[in-house]
Amino acid sequence: MKIINISYRLPVSFRRIEGNIDVRSSAGGLVSAVLSLKNESNELHWVGVADFLKADYHEGKTRFSSNFALHPVFLDKNVNYGFYNGFSNTVLWPLFHYFPAFVEFKPSHFTAYMQANTILAEEACKIIGPGDIIWIHDYQLMPLAEMIRKIKPDARIGFFLHIPFPAYELIRLLPKYCRDTLVKGMLSADLIGFHTYEYAQHFLTTAQMIAGLQHKQFELLYNNRPVRVGVFPISVDFDKFTNALLDPLIEQERAKLKSVYQDKSIIFSVDRLDYTKGISFRLRGFARFINDYPEWREKIVFILVAVPSREVIRKYIERKQMIEMLISEINGKFGTTQWTPVVYHYGSLNFQELTGLYTGCDIALISPLRDGMNLVSKEFVASRSDEDGVLLLSDMTGAAKELTDALLFNPLDEEEISVKIKMALSMTLDERRLRMTNMRNQVRKHDVLRWGNNFIRELEEVCARKIYPDRMHDETKGMIRRKYLKAHKRLILLDYDGTLAAFQPVPHMARPGQDVLDVLSLLALDPGNEVVLISGRDRQTLEEWFGHLPVMLIAEHGCFVRQKSWHSTIVDPLIWKDGVHRIMQIFADNCSGAFVEEKNFSLCWHYRNSDPYSGFSQSRELISLLHDYLTGANTHIIDGNKVIEVKPAQINKGTAVLHAFNVRDFDFCLAVGDDMTDEFLFEVMQHYDAITVKVGEAGSIARYRIERIESVIAFLSQLPDKL
Ligand code: ADQ
């Protein structure tokens, strides 16, 4: 089996330096995570975009020795520009980090983004074989899973997003064709991973708003396939950083720091120079500190390292100029001939320099305005095996959710940054130790090797679960009939709309035909049979249409039951109903063709007769509003087939059956239904070894599938036939 990692960047580069090829491997956490997946039964492969020349690669590739096979994809320069600098970094990056004003959308860049993804998909498919695992990384490759799935339908695909997934309101700013492509692209993976629950929730809301998908415990059904959404906070290679303290080379780095800065306290920060990292706010907070606490002047230094990043994009050039101006202003205003408050380095650091600073500083000051996770904070913590040092961390990072023993602050609040620097400098050794030990335990337990292993294990698990039903073939029908004929006491549970009758423009038009009445009578005739019609319809309609038959009726998804006479299973007063009615009515008034249907215990907003686009988008807004409005009310919102329904939560088709029967008394149980509400019934009935049948194409936990309503009626009528 192959594990094929696909990311924009490859973990190795080939450069010609003075005529020779210099092969340089990245030692980032992702590489360690992927390498840790290696075992005797797998091969590791890495597909990505080459940032080197083909000729240099061919000359240097034999000198690249690693545990994985490299598959560089050489993109045309213009395509790569539109793909990477264009759509990825001037649309997705700012938007997903809540900088919509920095977005510069050009349709041609989106075209390049799709072209590049298509090329990567084709390249990847050349090496994908049966049973292989494909792990796609990040916002540059959001449509890739769908493209691969089209060529390799059975591939096991995981997608991990390294940046935040923002609230739907931000996603909504993208043109419809872009957002649909991106979200449906992600949904084509088997497992979609995020750093935090917040990002996962935003994605689930977006999936509902864009694709009408409702999740159940973070699992969705998309194109008949289960898709799991999971939370996997990325981390760092703990041992590698923790061993740094005692490394003699790193000790030398610390000694250099000591000799230059002597007794001064050192604040350190390092990031890519990016507007999301909040570098200018951090500088203003530091300036505020030396202004408000003059006693610290000349006793402190702020070493700020920024690694060059995306230097061809206008916003990055502007930000660099802004930061450099700010640094000169601070140094000009507060500095003296003997003291430079901010020491600035624009460039990369090697591992020794980086860990020398992590272990030699007193405070790490990390202030992103948004950051998917932020590895710098975890690297700092992992490096501090002396259990000293204070982490000052923005509460807008994913890492802040785990590193709660840091001094957390709002990155826009200069005063708070200044006060927190003062707190850090005055903190006792005992408190520093306690906080650092707690954070180190967290990072040690959840390091990047575990992250990679957890992701792949969960991907394998979700792929092994088969929850979509089998088509019902003649052989199966024969087996079910044999069981039916052998049984003495049978429970037959049938949904109505979509199962025994097709949907009509308005609910009252879906009257049962003679064939339906005949089959129900036929089954009910047998004294060994308990036939139950279990529907979302109101009791008046069921009574009018089926009242004359000797069948049991369950109305409004279980809220009313007719055994000898009708009785209600609901005892709570429905205090939410008037408010929901008002909201639904406003939405109906504003959406041509939509209307409200009131039942005794539930309310429905139908949009089958509205324009498909506006009906769907209004229905998404209604769901989102109802979710908020009904917080704390014991209700369930059903996103049904062109209908949004609100009903009491405690009752569903599954619980209704359990209230009405002791299911164990039956030696044959059959449940047939077509929509989300029938899934509750299937779930309950599976515990009793029932035959569960989904009608239609959608995914389901049912055991079998029948595609068409006519086939359901034929199947039911043939049940009692002698074999
Ligand atoms: P980044 O935005 O790049 O990553 P971060 O998580 O902090 O941010 O990782 C930066 C890495 O670059 C760290 O390993 C750091 O040591 C290194 N680095 C930074 N400046 C450097 C310098 N001057 N010299 C050398 N090395 C330097 C994206 C997301 C993050 C998410 C990661 C991983 O934006 O939110 O944490 O991916 O998923």
Lowest mean pLDDT among 60-74, 285-299, 542-556, 623-637: 60-74
Q: Tell me, in angstroms, the distance from the centre of ligand 1 to residue 20's CA.
A: 29
Count of positions (residues) in the chain: 723
Yes or no: say if 44 and 5 are a contact pair by the CB < 8 Å rule.
Answer: yes
Helices (H) and strands (E) in the chain, counts: 26, 29
Which of 99, 136, 345, 373 is the pocket-test mutation for ligand 1 (most atoms within 8 Å of CB)? 373
Question: Ligand 1: which atom is nearest the Cα of residue 399?
Answer: 36
Q: How far is the CA of 541 from the centre of ligand 1 (A)?
A: 62
**The pLDDT of residue 643 is above 90:** yes
Mean pLDDT of the 431-456 span: 96
- The answer on pLDDT for 564 being more than 90 is no
- The pLDDT value given to residue 481: 95
Which pLDDT score, from 0 to 100, does residue 700 have?
84
Using CB distances shorter than 6 Å, the residues near ligand 1 are: 28, 162-163, 234, 270-272, 305, 307, 348-349, 354, 371-376, 379
Q: Which ranges of 538-611 would DSSP assign to H, the alpha helix?
A: 539-546, 577-589
Of these residues, 274, 495, 674, 675, which one is catalytic? 495
The crossing angle, in degrees rounded to 10, of helices 375-383 and 351-360 is 70
pLDDT confidence of residue 237? 94
CB atoms within 10 A of CB 563: 10
Separation of 614 CA from ligand 1 center, angstroms?
42
What class is the 238-444 domain?
alpha beta
3-class DSSP state of 592: coil
In the numeric block, the tokens 């006793």 are attached to: 299
Which pLDDT score, from 0 to 100, does residue 165 have? 98
Q: Measuring from atom 4 of ligand 1, which residue has the nearest CA? A: 374
Confidence of residue 641 (pLDDT cuts 50, 70, 90): confident
Least confident of 216-220, 379-383, 434-438, 490-494: 216-220
State the closest ligand 1 atom to the C-alpha of 309, by its place in the atom list counted from 1.
Answer: 3
Its pTM stands at 0.88
Our measurement of the distance from residue 259's CA atom to the centroid of its chain's CA atoms, rounded to an integer in Å, reads 48
At 145 the pLDDT is 98
Q: How confident is the model at residue 466 (pLDDT cuts 50, 70, 90)?
A: low
> Which residue's CA is the nearest one to ligand 1's atom 28?
162
Give the 3-state secondary structure of 624-687. HHHHHHCCCCCEEEEECCCEEEEEECCCCHHHHHHHHCCHHHCCEEEEEECCHHHHHHHHHHHC
pLDDT band at 467 (very low <50, low <70, confident <90, very high): low
CATH 3.30.70.1020 in the chain is located at 577-648
Q: What is the pLDDT of residue 723?
A: 67
- Alpha-carbon gap, residue 692 to 523, rounded angstroms: 17
Which range, of 89-93, 490-494, 609-613, 710-714, averages the lowest pLDDT?
Answer: 609-613
Highest-scoring range by mean pLDDT, 24-28, 208-212, 287-291, 677-681: 287-291
| pLDDT over 90 at 469, yes or no | no
pLDDT of residue 693: 97
Q: 704: helix, coil or strand? A: strand
The pLDDT of residue 158 is 98
Interval 231-261: pLDDT, tens: 999 999 999 999 998 899 999 999 999 999 9
State yes or no: pLDDT of 225 exceeds 90.
Answer: no
Residues 85-110 have pLDDT tens digits of 999 999 999 999 999 999 999 999 99
How close is the Cα of 259 to the center of ligand 1, in Å?
28
Q: What integer pLDDT is reported at residue 43 of this predicted model?
A: 92
Q: Which residue is closest in CA terms to ligand 1's atom 33?
A: 162
Is residue 495 among the annotated active site residues?
yes
2-74+117-231 CATH pick, 3.40.462.40, 3.40.50.2000, 3.40.1390.10, 3.30.750.24: 3.40.50.2000
Res. 572: pLDDT tops 80:
no
Here the tokens at position 472 are 């019902």
Which CATH superfamily includes the segment(s) 470-569+651-717? HAD superfamily/HAD-like (3.40.50.1000)
**Summary mean pLDDT of the chain:** 94
C-alpha 441 – ligand 1 centre gap (Å): 21
Q: Is the pLDDT of residue 313 over 70?
A: yes
pLDDT for the residue numbered 457 = 96
Please report the atom of ligand 1 found closest to the CA of residue 371.
35
Residue 113 pLDDT greater than 80, yes or no: yes
In the predicted model, what is the mean pLDDT of residues 201-227? 90
Highest mean pLDDT among 17-31, 334-348, 632-646, 692-706: 334-348
Confidence of residue 637 (pLDDT cuts 50, 70, 90): very high
- Quick one: tokens of 549? 């038959």
Mean pLDDT, range 310-316, rounded to an integer: 91
Counting ligand 1 atoms within 8 A of each CB, the residue from 277, 376, 393 with the most, and so the one to mutate, is 376
pLDDT at 6: 98
Cα 241 to ligand 1 centre (Å): 15
Which atom of ligand 1 approaches the CA of 236 most closely? Answer: 14
User: The domain 577-648 belongs to what CATH superfamily?
Assistant: Trehalose-6-phosphate phosphatase related protein; domain 2 (3.30.70.1020)
Tokens describing residue 151: 């060529």
pLDDT above 90 covers what percent of the chain? 86
